[in-house]
Structure 1
């Protein structure tokens, strides 16, 4: 809550550092531009997530803290995309993977 006689125009975000917040604001500005094509937006999104994994992690945490579902959805890839991105081999049998999906159905919605 901001009071009228507030001297500072700073809003503290203890869980988001300034570099990460700058990147989030860059995303918001781009996604609020009028007249931008869907292809240009997809290109922007692809470039936006092509950052070091530590930055990607900070952006996901910031989006979660800020309750920005749009950024979270764009950044949180499917299981198969994550395996490809990090070159992770699937060591589960199809039956084991299906059992895990059944036990954790909420995570795959």
Structure 2
């Protein structure tokens, strides 16, 4: 388990496989980040929870060519971005800083 702390102080215990989907966190883990809690500066708990949800969903989809799973994922992605403008803006900021764009493309 990896422990993440949002900008507003909320703690998230997340499976390492999920956190490795975020390039910034992945690099910190690979570089043997010596702190027990990885801070997420300027990322609120609301946005942290959304990003974790997104990574979990994409991690769960089989890597094989399963058309049903891919359609389900497209449906999830479409619903995921149906949020208020502020939330979408903050998700885009996280995407820029953590390479989440790999999935959003």
> Which range, TM-score by smaller chain?
0.5 to 0.7
Q: Deviation of residue 72 (structure 1)?
A: 4.4
Contact residue 20 and residue 55 of structure 1 kept, 8 A: yes
> Over aligned residues, Cα RMSD in angstroms?
1.8
Structure 1 or 2, whichever has the larger Rg, is 1
Structure 1 residue runs without a partner (length 5+): 74-109
Structure 1 residue 17 displacement after superposition: 1.5
Which residue pairs with 1:84 in the alignment?
none
1:65 aligns with 97
Higher-strand-fraction structure? 2
| 1:11 equivalent in alignment to 2:52 | no
| Cα distance between partner residues in 1 of 2:85 and 2:78 | 14
Structure 2: 5+ residue runs without aligned partners? 1-31, 63-67
User: What is the CA distance between 1:2 and its match in structure 2?
Assistant: 2.0
Give yes or no for the alignment of 1:20 onto 2:47.
yes
Q: Distance in 2 between matches of 1:2 and 1:70?
A: 23
Cα distance between partner residues in 2 of 1:15 and 1:46: 25
- The yes-or-no answer on 1:2 pairing with 2:33 is yes
Q: How many pairs align?
A: 69
Aligned residue number for residue 85 of structure 2? 53
Contact 2:61–2:73 (Cα < 8 Å) also in 1:
no
The structure in which a higher percent of residues are helix is 1
